[in-house]
C-alpha cells in the first residue's frame, strides 16, 4: 500500500522560505512520478510542480515558476518542494501525490495522480 507523508509546513512571514518534504513508502518509488499541489479554502486544488520517476524531468506551474523548485532523492524515497519569497496568497494546505499513467497530459492535474498524502498547512502572514 503506497503511503505519502508530508512535513515541513508552518506559519511564516511574507518573504520567507519553506522546504516541504514528502516521504514515499509501500512500493518502488521510481515507478511513480511525484507532484505537489495546494488547496486554499473555497478554491480548487492547484498543481504546482512535478518530477518524473527517474528524476530527469520536472514541470513547474506558471503561477509559482521562479519561486518554487521540486526535487527528489531516490535514496531517501523523498520529494521536496523548496518555496521562496512566500506571500499571503501562498497560504493553503499543500499535498504530495504519486501517479503512474498520466505524466504526458495530466502531470499538473489532480486527475493524474493515484495516491495522496494527508497534507501540510502553510500559512503566510503579511
- Three-state secondary structure string covering 48-116: EEEECCCCCCEEECCCCCCCEEEEEEHHHCEEEEEECCCCHHHCEEEEEEEECCCHHHHCCCHHHCCEE
CA–CA distance, 78 with 72 (Å, rounded to integer)? 6
pLDDT tens-place string over residues 73-123: 988 999 999 999 999 999 999 999 999 988 888 999 999 999 999 999 999
Q: CB-based contacts of 104: which residues, under 8 Å, 6+ apart?
A: none
Share of the chain above pLDDT 90, in %: 86
Look at residues 72, 78, 71 and name the one whose alpha carbon lies nearest to residue 24.
78
Residue 24 has pLDDT above 90, yes or no: yes
Q: What's residue 30's pLDDT?
A: 82
Here the cell at position 68 is 518554487
Coil, helix or strand for 90?
helix
Residue 29 has pLDDT above 80, yes or no: no
Q: What's residue 61's pLDDT?
A: 97
Q: What's residue 83's pLDDT?
A: 98
Q: Rounded mean pLDDT of the chain?
A: 95
Amino acid at each position: 500500500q503506497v503511503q505519502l507523508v508530508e512535513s515541513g509546513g508552518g506559519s511564516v512571514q511574507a518573504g520567507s522560505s519553506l522546504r516541504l518534504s514528502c516521504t514515499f513508502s509501500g512500493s518502488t518509488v521510481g515507478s511513480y512520478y511525484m507532484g505537489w499541489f495546494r488547496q486554499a479554502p473555497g478554491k480548487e486544488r492547484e498543481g504546482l510542480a512535478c518530477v518524473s520517476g527517474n528524476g530527469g524531468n520536472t514541470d513547474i506551474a506558471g503561477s509559482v515558476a521562479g519561486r518554487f523548485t521540486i526535487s527528489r532523492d531516490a535514496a531517501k524515497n523523498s520529494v521536496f518542494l523548496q518555496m521562496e519569497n512566500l506571500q499571503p496568497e501562498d497560504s493553503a494546505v499543500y499535498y504530495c501525490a504519486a501517479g503512474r499513467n498520466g505524466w504526458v497530459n495530466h502531470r499538473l492535474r489532480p486527475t493524474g495522480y493515484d495516491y495522496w498524502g494527508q497534507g501540510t498547512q502553510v500559512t503566510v502572514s503579511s
